[in-house]
Amino acid sequence: MTYSRASTNGPNRRIIILISGGGSNMRAILKTAKRDHWHTRYGAAVAAVVSNQREAGGLVCAQEAGVATHVLSHRDFTDRLSFDLALMRLIDQQDVQGPNQVPALIVLAGFMRILSPAFVSHYAGRLLNIHPSLLPAFAGLNTHQRAIDMGCKFAGATVHHVTAALDHGEIVAQAVVPVLAGDDAAGLAARVLTQEHLLYPQAIAQWLQAKVSQ
């Protein structure tokens, strides 16, 4: 299903966000892009949100913000590569190149899929993710409980470039929070998420500014 409300007067650089759930980081990005006038400042705007889950709550938020939304369920494909190739086609359809346009920035915001090397290679250098740990520590899942179990004094979040190695791309930005006495995974996760909502839009703006300055 597709809902399209985006402006036909697109920016020079489109931002396409991939989600799987509620999209709280997506909402933070949309809010910051509007508040800080990314269209004027960087020639960039969120052009589409794509989910692999039909019931993802973030889709409604994106639609209410006037952003085109698309659902491509991984369950409709027999293997990861087939899904990724279809996702690439869908993304590239949203990234129609005009005379003044540059390739889109692809932002993973709670997109719960391990991407194939073919997908990562196709968007190399313009594919960002946020991970709820201070990479390179605690790549993968259950990051908050693992940090508590290891006795870490600090935890946090990392924005990084996506590579074929899971959670091992070049670091763009990090935010640090203390691990408090008596913390459980849920409490630490909530505190880290608050910082994610600040860090991710800032890191994207930093990336966009660097491209404008080139």
- The catalytic site residues sit at 131
CA–CA distances in Å: residue 146 to residues 133, 137, 152: 10, 10, 9
ω into 103 cis (within 30 of 0): no
* Residues written for the chain: 214
- The two structure tokens encoding residue 199: 């860090």
Q: How far apart are alpha carbons 96 and 185 in whole angstroms?
A: 42
Q: How far apart are alpha carbons 124 and 120 in whole angstroms?
A: 6
Residues in contact with 56: Cβ distance below 8 Å, sequence separation at least 6, in sequence order: 19, 20, 21, 22, 23, 71
Q: What is the DSSP letter of 36?
A: T
